[in-house]
Amino acid sequence: MSIPIDDAEARFALSSIEERRRQVIAEIDVPRWYWFSLAAGWVALGVIADFAPTWVDIAATVLFGAAHATIAPRVLSGRRGSSQLSVRGELVDRRIPVLIIGLLVVMVAVTVALALLLHLDGARHPATWASVVVAALLLVGGPALMSTVRRHAERTHRR
């Protein structure tokens, strides 16, 4: 038994479905706390590099890496941008972790290069200054990267 619907009802139903799809795509993200935690850890490592003995710097770097490796598999999928919703895997680009890790590798290179340049210029606490600059880049660049991923998902999943 089918119930006939008119064109207006069909258009309304399709527009409602499209709106819900956009809302789900808008949830593709990495939690905000991830970027803030990453930036804070980055600055902490810079300060430790400038002020602590080398062994403390090495230990802190290993601990930071271990903490990130523990957290990353859960948050870098892009499926849990908020506690409101977990986005289905088919909708999320599987390259998100690779993109984020790639961003982090570039930021490591930028940190080292900037710290070396600051050191050569005679700046005091070059690792701290370099890490502050890179932390700011992460706070802007991370969400911008995820925005690009959402735009790509929007284009890819149009029907």
13 assigned to some structural domain: yes
In this structure, what token pair is assigned to residue 155? 């284009």
pLDDT tens, residue by residue, 26-60: 666 778 899 999 999 999 999 999 999 999 999 99
Average pLDDT of the chain, as a whole number? 84
71 assigned to some structural domain: yes
Distance, in Å, from the CA atom of 21 to the CA atom of 52, rounded to the nearest integer, reads: 50
56 assigned to some structural domain: yes
Q: For residue 30, what pLDDT is reported?
A: 79
Which residue in this structure is represented by tokens 């570039």? 106
126 assigned to some structural domain: yes
3-state secondary structure of 150: helix
pLDDT, mean of residues 104-113: 95
pLDDT, mean of residues 130-151: 91
Residue 73: band (very low, low, confident or very high) from pLDDT cuts 50, 70, 90: confident
- Domain count within the chain: 1
148 assigned to some structural domain: yes
3-state secondary structure of 157: coil
Residue 108: band (very low, low, confident or very high) from pLDDT cuts 50, 70, 90: very high
Residue 148: band (very low, low, confident or very high) from pLDDT cuts 50, 70, 90: confident
2 assigned to some structural domain: no
With both helix axes pointing from N to C terminus, report the angle between 32-51 and 54-75 in degrees, rounded to the nearest 10. Answer: 170
pLDDT, mean of residues 105-118: 95
Residue 111: band (very low, low, confident or very high) from pLDDT cuts 50, 70, 90: very high
1 assigned to some structural domain: no
> In terms of residue numbers, what domain contains 149?
7-156
Q: For residue 112, what pLDDT is reported?
A: 95
